[in-house]
Amino acid sequence: MMVAMRSHDVQDEMQEGFEPAPLPPIAADGAPVLTPIESVPPPRPSLCRAGPCKNYHCFQIQTDSEDPRPVKVPGTLPPGTPRAFEVPDGTLYRSPRSFHVETHHYCYPTTGVEMKLGSLPVITCNRWHPFGATTPSVDRADFLASEAGIQYAQEVAQWERDREQEQEVDQEIQSLIETRQREAATNQPGETP
């Protein structure tokens, strides 16, 4: 008799209670006022990849993505440019074929149980068990004392310092905003820093 494997998707739980953000304000011309896109900070180093854990499984598959379309360039490109073809009123350039991958992260904490982790990092786990030793508590201590463990700890510490610095800057800006809002409410402009 075969037993079906149970699957648990952490991402589904995280979506419960999700609310969309409010719409941006609308300008006089009817277009939405959009703020510039900020770069996303790097994710915290995942505990699963430190060691790595015996229960962690990561794989990538090639996605079926459309190749870039040729672009017509006015004029000519330097002689010998790969994938460039002269046409009557310019040059046709074809970019290299696209190659995109989709990454999947899974945890198999015990026999018959599968958890899809998604791309979010795991910060703590009581089943984290690096490859190569016999008992998890000894494995963890040995790993954290190893060169790879020290490097992982340094990466986490650097990530935390970067986030603290971002928070400090944000607190200063929030304080400045509150000051300006109070000044505007009392119609007493202050000095510009």
DSSP annotation of 103 reads E
Q: What is the CB neighbour count within 10 angstroms for residue 125?
A: 15
Q: How far apart are CA 147 and CA 37, in angstroms?
A: 38
Q: What is the pTM of this model?
A: 0.56
β-pairing, 71-73 with 113-116? unpaired
pLDDT tens, residue order, the chain (193 aa)? 555 666 666 656 656 666 777 777 888 888 888 877 777 778 889 988 888 888 899 889 988 888 888 888 888 878 888 888 888 888 888 888 878 888 889 999 888 888 898 778 898 888 888 876 566 666 778 888 888 889 999 999 999 999 898 888 888 888 877 887 788 788 655 555 4
In Å, the largest CA–CA distance within the chain is: 80
